[in-house]
Chain A
Amino acid sequence: AQTVTQSQPEMSVQEAETVTLSCTYDTSENNYYLFWYKQPPSRQMILVIRQEAYKQQNATENRFSVNFQKAAKSFSLKISDSQLGDTAMYFCAFMNQNQGGKLIFGQGTELSVKP
């Protein structure tokens, strides 16, 4: 069975600085996808960034980028130039290509951006 682990329950960063959230996963599959979702306080969960396992190039979306290390089964999220609106719970998630779109989530990291 696949598992996803986020070992940092809480993190904080100063506005405009860079922060990295860690995520590791365990799978014996070769074809899968990885995601970072963001859940702002009292607001709906939204997708931040997605990575296909077959792609070697790390995904980037504006200030958000990932460091995907397939051999190490590591998938960290880097947020550059942190903004107050980045304050949220962040979830790492795994999807096996052959399991009907099911997501397996990590425990979450609560990120606080301080002014």
Chain B
Amino acid sequence: DVKVTQSSRYLVKRTGEKVFLECVQDMDHENMFWYRQDPGLGLRLIYFSYDVKMKEKGDIPEGYSVSREKKERFSLILESASTNQTSMYLCASSLSSGRASEQFFGPGTRLTVL
């Protein structure tokens, strides 16, 4: 079974802190994604990566950056956390962008910024 894991289920940070959210997948997937999930808005794509060291902005990249140094790991970075970044963050991975590959999701990290 594909497994996507995220470093924390719950995280509380203070405004201005630098925050790292880690995601690891164990199925050699090429694509990895970071979404944030907010009530009434569904999931919105922050960044995605289709290969090591490659990244592309999604729909809401402002205030975020990402890093993919190894194929299995995709990190989301909040350079200076703000209260409007309080949200549920979901990581996902998929095999290939060349076809309609199913995305496999991690359990999510619920981030609260005080």
User: Which chain A residues have a beta carbon within 8 Å of chain B's beta carbons?
Assistant: 4, 6, 9, 33, 35, 37, 43-47, 50, 52, 91, 95, 97, 100-108
With both beta carbons as reference points, the residue of chain A lying nearest to B4 in the complex is identified as: A44
User: Which residue of chain A is the closest to B41 with respect to CB atoms?
Assistant: A107
What are the residues of chain A within 8 A of B41 when measuring CB–CB?
A: 107
Tell me which residues across on chain A come within 8 A of B97, comparing CB atoms. 100-101
Q: Please tell me if B107 contacts chain A, counting CB pairs below 8 Å.
A: yes
The answer to whether B50 and A101 have CB atoms under 8 Å apart is yes
Which chain A residues border B92 with CB–CB below 8 Å?
45
Complex contact A91–B43 (CB within 8 A): yes
* Interface 0/1 of B77-108, CB less than 8 Å to A: 00000000000001010101100111101111
A47 touches B102 (CB 8 A): yes
| Chain B residues proximal to chain A, CB less than 8 Å | 4, 31, 33, 35, 40-45, 48, 50, 56, 58, 90, 92, 94, 96-97, 100-103, 105-108
In the complex, which residues of chain A have a beta carbon less than 8 angstroms from the beta carbon of B48? Answer: 100-102
Q: Give 28 CB contacts A-B under 8 Å.
A: A4-B42, A33-B100, A35-B102, A37-B105, A43-B107, A44-B105, A45-B105, A50-B102, A91-B43, A97-B100, A100-B56, A100-B97, A101-B31, A101-B48, A101-B94, A101-B103, A102-B33, A102-B45, A102-B48, A102-B58, A103-B43, A103-B45, A103-B103, A105-B42, A105-B43, A107-B42, A108-B40, A108-B42
Shortest C-beta distance, A22 to chain B (Å), equals 14
CB pair A101 B45 closer than 8 Å: no
- B106–A106 touching, CB < 8 Å: no
User: Quick one: which of B4, B103, B108 has the most chain A CB within 10 A?
Assistant: B103
**In the complex the two chains form, is A50's CB within 8 Å of B44's CB?**
no
State the Cβ distance, A51 to closest chain B Cβ, in Å: 9
